[in-house]
Amino acid sequence: MCRHAARPDTHQYPSNRGRQSFRDSVAGFYARRFGVEVDPVAEIIPCLGAKEAIANLNLAFLDPGDVALASDPGYPVYTTGPLLAGAEPVPMPLVPELGFQPDLDAIPADVARRARLMYLNYPNNPTGGVIEDDFFARAVDFARRHDVIVVHDNAYSEITYDGYRAPSFLATPGAKEVGLEVFSLSKTYNMTGWRSGAVVGNADLVSAFWQLKTNIDSGMFEALQEASVAALDSNQDSVARMCAIYQRRRDVLVDALRAMGLAVEPPKGAIYVWARVPEGETSASFTERVLEEAAVVVSPGSAYGRAGEGFVRMSLTLADDRLDEAAERIARLVAG
Ligand SMILES: Cc1ncc(COP(=O)(O)O)c(C=O)c1O
């Protein structure tokens, strides 16, 4: 980044299409990592992080009266984005017994008829759910039958544990006909503040998104595009080291929560532990008690949607000693 920021030619207005080097690098990553061939010219466009892309995709594809199907619990922009576009977000509850996948057969016919977008996200925030079956194929089938655009938020594809490797949605046969994937460098390379990502997939959809963005922002700082190339083309050892750190923290936290009698499964992906609150508590009451009496901040599951009620989310992005201390304080609280 420093080297490229020192070059005067990276300070001009960028093109919204992105530098050739950036698009080639994303295409190379998709081929190496996911076995997915994408055309760097027509099927990739840079975005200023996944959040920007998710918010703007609503403006690109939704009209008032349309429905956007949103994973519940889910990243909040899956519901606020459609509202900003004048459309209606309809929650798709993620079912714990289905590995935190939605039951697509439970979507009412009138909702499916009005649906234009469907937001999916695996590895999942906040539940830690991952794809281990043919769910993406069923999502493609649903999208074809109901003329829905699937947007798969792939922000956590590289943050996985226990040897699990997350697939790209685009590796599913037919996926590129019906959808897009939003890829982000934020979590994989600890670049959250840099705002680098890419929208990858169906060429017509990518083009529509590009058209919208030419009227909203002026592209990604070119030095950042080159820094992103360096990250994507690197040997990925740093990512493996980081996942090992998160996995150690996950195990510490899961062991501590289980010792307290809380029901929790060790997640195979993402950077959160999703735990059921003790009997008799709600998400909000347990969150408040943990804050007031143990001075530890956890997130109430209900903040991510109605289906998150009864859970709290705990983040693994805390130094080991702080995480240990938080676990101990919560344990004392539950014991008392
Ligand atoms: C599921 C999910 N999608 C997207 C984002 C945002 O990613 P970015 O930093 O690329 O905007 C987050 C950040 O927490 C997230 O959890």
- 3-state helix/strand/coil string of 32-86: HHHCCCCCCCCCEEEECCHHHHHHHHHHHHCCCCCEEEEEECCCCHHHHHHHHCC
Q: For 207-233, how does the pLDDT look when each residue is reduced to its tens digit (9 = 90+)?
A: 999 999 999 999 999 999 999 999 999
- % of the chain with per-residue pLDDT over 90: 93
SS3 221: coil
Tell me the pLDDT band of 327, cut-offs 50, 70 and 90.
confident
Ligand 1 centroid to 155 CA: how many Å? Answer: 6
Please give the single-letter amino acid code of residue 115.
Answer: A
DSSP 185-210: STTTTT-TTT--EEEEE-HHHHHHHH
Q: C-alpha angle with apex 203: 199 to 207, nearest 5 degrees?
A: 75
Whether this prediction's pTM lies above 0.95 is answered by: yes
Nearest residue (CA) to ligand 1, atom 3:
155
Distance CA 330, CA 289 (A): 10
CA–CA distance, 55 with 276 (Å, rounded to integer): 30
Report the distance separating Cα 13 and Cα 32, nearest Å: 31
Q: Report CA Rg, the chain.
A: 20
Q: Using the atom order of ligand 1, give the atom closest to the CA of residue 75.
A: 1
DSSP 269-331: BSSEEEEEPPTT--HHHHHHHHHHHH----EEGGGG-GGGTTEEEEES-S-HHHHHHHHHHHH
DSSP-derived letter for residue 30 is I
Per-residue pLDDT band for 332 (boundaries 50, 70, 90) equals confident
pLDDT-wise least confident of 75-89, 211-225, 287-301, 322-336: 322-336
Per DSSP, the residues of 104-145 read GGGS-HHHHHHEEEEEEESSPTTT-----SSHHHHHHHHHHH
- pLDDT for res 256: 86
Residue 72 contacts residue 92 (beta carbons within 8 Å)? yes
Say yes or no: CB of residue 192 within 6 Å of ligand 1. yes
Ligand 1: distance of its center to the CA of 305 in Å? 16
Q: Please answer whether residues 226 and 4 qualify as being in contact, where contact means their C-beta atoms are separated by less than 8 angstroms.
A: yes
Q: What does the alpha-carbon distance between residue 331 and residue 324 come to, in Å, rounded to a whole number? A: 11
Query: Is any ligand 1 atom within 6 A of the Cβ of residue 74?
Result: no
**Structural contact between residues 245 and 286, judged by C-beta atoms closer than 8 angstroms:** no
- What integer is the mean pLDDT of 144-150? 98
Please tell me if the CB atom of residue 185 comes closer than 6 angstroms to any atom of ligand 1: no
Q: Which residues pair with 181 in a beta bridge?
A: 152, 200
Is residue 50 within 6 Å of ligand 1 at its C-beta? yes
pLDDT tier, 27 (very low <50, low <70, confident <90, very high otherwise): very high
For residues 152 and 121, the answer to whether their CB atoms sit within 8 Å is yes
| Mean pLDDT, residues 147-158 taken together | 98
Phi, psi of 253 (to 5 degrees): -70, -45
What is the Å distance from ligand 1's center to 125 Cα?
9
- Cβ of 125 less than 6 Å from ligand 1: yes
Residue 184 in contact with ligand 1 by CB distance below 6 A: yes
**Cα 246-252-253 angle, rounded to 5 deg:** 90
> Which residue, chain included where needed, has tokens 């080297």?
3
Q: Tell me, what's the pLDDT at 333?
A: 79
263 pLDDT tier (thresholds 50, 70, 90): confident
What is the CA(50)–ligand 1 centre distance, in A?
A: 6
